[in-house]
Structure 1
Amino acid sequence: MMAKIKLGILGGGEDSLIGILHRVAANMFDQFEIVGGIFDQHHDKSLKFGEKLKLDEKRIYKNLDELIAKENSLPEDQKMQVVSVLTPNFLHFPMAKQLLENGFNVICEKPLTTTYEEAKILNEIQQKKNTIFGVTYTYTGYPMIRQMKTMIANGEIGKVQKVDVQYYQGWINQLIHDKEKRSSTWRLDPEKSGISCCIGDIGTHAFNMAEYVTGMKVENILADLNYLYEDNPMDIDGTVLIRFTDKAKGVIRASQIATGEENSFSVQIYGDKGGLKWQQENPNYLYLMKEDQPLQVLKPGHGFLSEFSLEGTKLPPGHPEGIFDSMGNIYYGVAMAIKDQSKYDGAYPKLNDGLRGMSFIEKTVSSHKQGNVWINMKE
């Protein structure tokens, strides 16, 4: 039996939702063993949380310099092989950069960095070091999204001609209408979040998904963003028209002021022979629509689905799977890449996906600020 991959974690401490998601995902396929990390900026809190996870306190480090130095002093079969970066956005780049430079594989939350230039630097280092780098665009791990990707690649809906991806939330309403609150949250602070809130946070999921399931690249965009208040420097709503390299067109709609919405992420892809529709809040249903046939509803776990979809399915048909499973599939994809056993294109989002996400953020903001004009993604 092969030894488990030794995993370190930066961030994701006691009160972190994303931390729970990553820890469950890492344990899901018995591929990883969490051995230590830095769970909080306050070392005493980090130690306390490490104790809760029953980790060796010697591997709960005060800072990243200490982590790298001490882990690299361990025998190869004991040291951390990969480190997950779950910190606020502004820390992604310096932490990931330092880890890559010291030979660690990395799993990083999105957005990858706060600027496209930073993302390019990480890409260059990763290529030189030939390490594995996963970016957690979580929803790509859903079995029925992977089924959608396979069906489109196999031509089951024909040539793609219309893409409509929507990601609506309403949570920022609680902050944006209160001057003090919108001025104090890190999500609306460019120093900590980068130049975009809504597009940077959830719009990049939609952009990544559009490219992931279609297999096409967005070539041109035109954006119209909403900031609501003059003193708010960050977008909290936006619509982006997109044009792909092979002439298909589409729209990305993202909002954090869609009152009453929780996590409404929907993906609709239309070809000249049929259409596919999926919604994150009901992730077990993939709808196949054709003009000359009744509506078909595909669900995970059945033998007639693609091998890629089935590999990411852990329960029999009729047993709902969710976001933990989706993230777990991404961690499994990274594990297989580290072990050089990866079988599928798209098994986990790579650094280049994060790089394109950062380019999308900057091009979107630039399109809006230039007066809602078309911008080429290559410029």
Structure 2
Amino acid sequence: MDSTGRSKVRVGMVGGGEGAFIGQVHRQAMRLDGHIELVCGAFSRDPENNRRSGAALHLDPQRCYDAWEALLAAEKERPADQRMELLAIVTPNHLHAPIAEAALRAGFHVFSEKPAALSLADMQVLAEAQADSGRLYGLAHTYLGYPMVWQARHMVQAGALGRLRKIFVEYPQGWLGEDQAGQGNKQAAWRGEPTQAGPSGCMGDIGIHAFSLAEFVSGQRIERLCADLGVHVAGRQLDDDGAVLFQTDGGASGVLIASQVCTGEENALTLRLYGERGGLEWCQEQPNSLVHRPLGEALRVLRAGVDQRWLCDDALRRLRLPAGHPEGYLEAMANLYTDFATSIRSGRALEVPGIDAGLRGMAFIETVIASHHSDAKWTPFAATER
């Protein structure tokens, strides 16, 4: 039981075996608020890695499966009060859509790493599967779990900035400034392989985070864009750098920059919005602060903390600690899992980014690629109707 007296949501995981970074992040996050219990997994295609991973997590060896297909088949046959309810997918990109579709059709809820699929066409098939199944589907856009991101969204919706004019969003990293794949880095290797990562490298990996953050906070959708992609490390098949000019359906213009070859940068995802009455700035590396620049007034910095009475309810609900006690990436991911568990148990509408976010994300990637290869100044955003 969790703290509310309700049974914990039983979760299985595909991927995330020994040596995988993101799987460990998911497991730590799902445990944080006590609403979720990991009960089974198919953690690696390597049988020994899979066995060791399950043993380290103290799972029943009979529920550590050699393949995701075996996991779905066996868990579906378990009694309703014992079987997995939610499947977390933390594999390389090419497996996200096929595993998610199979899990949905088998009657399980799904929480997947992004991108949701390798193409918009595959994403539309997945959307149909989700609609047919009646199950919940969520995407791990972790940065949308930060409380001050919700505060920024609230302020935009409340008119604190007036009509939006300009949106700047950037995500610079430096970890692929060298040939990490050639040095044996497995995470870099699959991210540079089109059959596993998809048609885009940098834009598909981190540009999609910048895109989702800009649309989520602004409340506006990109209608057309002009993109340029680049490869700065010899031999690399997919983009490691890119820039996008865009225009939204609300009349704002913007710039999106994503790069994994910015030497010395870590994870400096930053969003700045400017309207008629002021501006906002949020940076992922300093997530507890939201800078507000009201027109004709002194700059002020809003700080996270459960005792901050000027924060909106959506932000406060995602905070756990008093002001001055930093909350970060794990807590943001935990917010997504807690929102998902609450939706499963209470029937409340899912606040975690879902199928629509997956459709928008794949449309963004394909539109960026189309624009890069086009001679036209502006490329209309790909249609995302189901």
TM-score (norm 2): 0.94
Once the two structures are superposed, residues 60-105 of structure 1 have per-residue CA deviations (whole angstroms, 9 ceiling, x without a partner) of: 0111222112111111111100000000011111111111111110
Once the two structures are superposed, residues 258-304 of structure 1 have per-residue CA deviations (whole angstroms, 9 ceiling, x without a partner) of: 11101111010111111100111111110000231111100112122
The alignment partner of 1:164 has SS state of strand
Mapped contact 1:223–1:372 kept (Cα < 8 A): no
User: How much has 1:148 moved relative to structure 2?
Assistant: 0.5
Hey, what does 2:357 align to over in structure 1?
Answer: 353
Q: Does 1:261 align with 2:265?
A: yes
Pick from 194, 197, 200: which aligns with 1:193?
A: 197
Distance in 2 between the 1:330 and 1:50 partners?
24
Mapped contact 1:10–1:38 kept (Cα < 8 A): yes
User: How much has 1:371 moved relative to structure 2?
Assistant: 3.1
Once the two structures are superposed, residues 168-194 of structure 1 have per-residue CA deviations (whole angstroms, 9 ceiling, x without a partner) of: 001111217969989x82211111111
The alignment partner of 1:174 has SS state of coil
The alignment partner of 2:232 has SS state of coil
Quick one: which amino acid aligns to residue 374 of structure 1? W
1:128–1:341 distance in 2 versus 1, CA, 3 Å = closer
The alignment partner of 1:260 has SS state of coil
Distance in 2 between the 1:122 and 1:71 partners?
21
Q: Does 1:237 align with 2:241?
A: yes
Hey, what does 1:100 align to over in structure 2?
Answer: 104
Distance in 2 between the 1:278 and 1:271 partners?
15
Quick one: which amino acid aligns to residue 116 of structure 1? L
Once the two structures are superposed, residues 148-185 of structure 1 have per-residue CA deviations (whole angstroms, 9 ceiling, x without a partner) of: 01111111111111100000001111217969989x82
Mapped contact 1:333–1:342 kept (Cα < 8 A): no
User: How much has 1:44 moved relative to structure 2?
Assistant: 2.3
Pick from 337, 340, 349: which aligns with 2:343?
A: 337
Q: Does 1:308 align with 2:314?
A: yes
Count of aligned pairs between the two proteins? 376
Pick from 158, 164, 172: which aligns with 2:162?
A: 158
Hey, what does 1:130 align to over in structure 2?
Answer: 134
Once the two structures are superposed, residues 234-262 of structure 1 have per-residue CA deviations (whole angstroms, 9 ceiling, x without a partner) of: 11100001110121110100000111101
CA RMSD of aligned residues (A): 1.9
Quick one: which amino acid aligns to residue 328 of structure 2? G
1:243-254 paired onto structure 2 within 5 Å = 243-254=247-258
The alignment partner of 1:223 has SS state of strand
1:94–1:341 distance in 2 versus 1, CA, 3 Å = closer
The alignment partner of 2:269 has SS state of strand
Pick from 30, 49, 68: which aligns with 2:72?
A: 68
Q: Does 1:86 align with 2:90?
A: yes
Hey, what does 2:331 align to over in structure 1?
Answer: 325
Mapped contact 1:169–1:264 kept (Cα < 8 A): yes
Q: Does 1:8 align with 2:8?
A: no
Mapped contact 1:224–1:372 kept (Cα < 8 A): no
User: How much has 1:230 moved relative to structure 2?
Assistant: 7.2
1:327–1:289 distance in 2 versus 1, CA, 3 Å = same
Distance in 2 between the 1:288 and 1:297 partners?
6
1:177–1:49 distance in 2 versus 1, CA, 3 Å = closer
Q: Extract unaligned runs of 5+ from structure 1.
A: none
Mapped contact 2:97–2:117 kept (Cα < 8 A): yes
Quick one: which amino acid aligns to residue 12 of structure 1? G
Hey, what does 1:208 align to over in structure 2?
Answer: 212
1:38-53 paired onto structure 2 within 5 Å = 38-53=42-57
1:218-229 paired onto structure 2 within 5 Å = 218-228=222-232
1:181–1:12 distance in 2 versus 1, CA, 3 Å = closer
Once the two structures are superposed, residues 172-226 of structure 1 have per-residue CA deviations (whole angstroms, 9 ceiling, x without a partner) of: 11217969989x8221111111110000000000000111001111111110111
User: How much has 1:233 moved relative to structure 2?
Assistant: 2.6
The alignment partner of 1:339 has SS state of helix
Distance in 2 between the 1:177 and 1:118 partners?
27
The alignment partner of 1:319 has SS state of coil
Mapped contact 1:172–1:256 kept (Cα < 8 A): yes
Hey, what does 1:366 align to over in structure 2?
Answer: 370
